[in-house]
Amino acid sequence: MNVVNNSPRRRELIRVAAQLFVQEGFDRTTVRMLAQEMGIKSGSLFHHFRDKQEILCAVIEEGTHNALSIAHEALAQCDGGAEARLHAMARAHLETLLTDRNAHVVALYEWRRLDEASRDHLGHLRDAYEQLWQEVIGDALEAGLIRGDKFLVSRFVLGALNWTVRWYDPAGAYSPDALASELIGMLGAPAATPA
Amino acid sequence: MNVVNNSPRRRELIRVAAQLFVQEGFDRTTVRMLAQEMGIKSGSLFHHFRDKQEILCAVIEEGTHNALSIAHEALAQCDGGAEARLHAMARAHLETLLTDRNAHVVALYEWRRLDEASRDHLGHLRDAYEQLWQEVIGDALEAGLIRGDKFLVSRFVLGALNWTVRWYDPAGAYSPDALASELIGMLGAPAATPA
DNA sequence: CATTTACACTAGCGCTTGCTTGGTTAGCCT
DNA sequence: AGGCTAACCAAGCAAGCGCTAGTGTAAATG
């Protein structure tokens, strides 16, 4: 009936779906609502996606994929200093949380509605992202920038960052860059570290 | 038809509902599933609750109420030191996240499914809890224990703590007490602060 | 003893859900 | 010109949804 293609139309539909999933939640979003927002009829939806589940999976995949590539890019454009790398990661995380906000909110709040196969597939993507964080945090620990257990610190930091979707207003006083600095300032050993 | 009573039976039903809401999500949990898990028929459910929404509200209210009273109790049993108070709050938060885990997970992930009236009512409870945190964090800042903006630090810390429901295994290496210490150790200025 | 109350049951109404079916249209390739 | 295909539509099915109405019953209350 349909294909698992990667057409620009599909991209557009995924964006629309992400917004609706955030507004209403996955379960409350009906295929009819999705279709209406996309400007088609509900039957036509199943030309683009096998079923409703696949839409959810596509939304989350896109968001996580973007987060990963933005993080890699941020690290690549960054000199070797552990503090600079840590800052770049935090800033990249906050920026993708803004630009792909809908997709990330869906990933955070609708993860459990994925079926087992999708959860497994997307889990690997997410693990890759978290491992990147653990490397950067591990380096910061070795450099004496912060203190604690590598895994614990990674989880605390990711928790603090992901929680920002609940309260962060990009029109407010803090830019993603400034917010990243505030977070690292809160964590770090004092600015002047002994030689 | 029914009352808004506070019977022990109702308590039990709320506990069962919380577990089901975590397992399946609020929208996917049908009144028939709830009834079956409670050992009654679906029609009987509406003797105890006006509608499905009221069950969700009751679950979250119980969890938030417990968190508040546990936090107050922890602060009361604590000498006046800012660090001790901070530790007590973090530990209390982690403990209520364990003992009332289901209710808190529901509060975190199903908040948006509340109707406006319930969201308003429960919002006040939650605000009271967050304000308690802001006071304790404000004191810790004044004592030079940690650095940063009061509101920012509060949000970062609450984010880190709430995120633990995703990964924390109480059977693992860390007790709530130890985990609270790790968090504060990560934040704090070094143990020996310059005079 | 009569009445009320609390709790549970059976039966089902009216509606919405995800998804299928069978068919049409417009543009592209040869 | 003829054929292929991606994209869409109208109509509707079977299942499941929240919730209601009306009834039964055992214990508490007057």
Mean pLDDT of A80-92: 94
**How many Å apart are CA B120 and CA B123, to the nearest integer?**
5
Give the confidence band of B193 by pLDDT, cuts at 50, 70, 90.
very low
Whether B3 has a pLDDT exceeding 80, the answer reads: no
Q: Which nucleotide is closest to A10, CA to C1'?
A: D7
Whether A167 has a pLDDT exceeding 70, the answer reads: yes
Q: Are B65 and B125 in contact (CB under 8 A)?
A: yes
Q: Diameter of chain B by CA atoms?
A: 68
What's the mean per-residue pLDDT of chain B? 92
Whether B57 has a pLDDT exceeding 50, the answer reads: yes
* Residues of chain B contacting residue A187, judged by C-beta atoms under 8 Å apart: 186-187
Give the confidence band of B2 by pLDDT, cuts at 50, 70, 90.
low
Q: How far is CA B31 from the centre of its chain?
A: 25
Contacts of B93-98 with CB under 8 Å at 24 or more apart are: B93/B67, B93/B161, B94/B161, B94/B164, B94/B168, B94/B176, B94/B179, B94/B180, B95/B70, B95/B176, B96/B63, B96/B66, B96/B67, B96/B70, B96/B71, B97/B161, B97/B162, B97/B164, B97/B165, B97/B168, B98/B168, B98/B170, B98/B176
CATH architecture, range A59-187: Orthogonal Bundle (1.10)
Q: If you measure CA to CA, which chain A residue comes closest to B190? A: A189
CATH architecture, range B8-187: Orthogonal Bundle (1.10)
Mean pLDDT of A96-116: 96
Give the confidence band of A9 by pLDDT, cuts at 50, 70, 90.
confident
User: Which stretches of chain B sit within 8 Å of chain A by CB?
Assistant: 25, 27-28, 109, 112-113, 146-149, 152-153, 155-164, 166-167, 174, 179, 182-183, 185-187, 189-190
Give the confidence band of A188 by pLDDT, cuts at 50, 70, 90.
confident
Least confident of A3-17, A94-108, A153-167, B129-143: A3-17
Whether A37 has a pLDDT exceeding 70, the answer reads: yes
Q: If you measure CA to CA, which chain B residue comes closest to A107? A: B109
Mean pLDDT of B160-179: 96
Return the closest-CA partner of residue B32 out of B22, B47, B42. B42
| Every domain of chain A and the residues it spans | 59-187
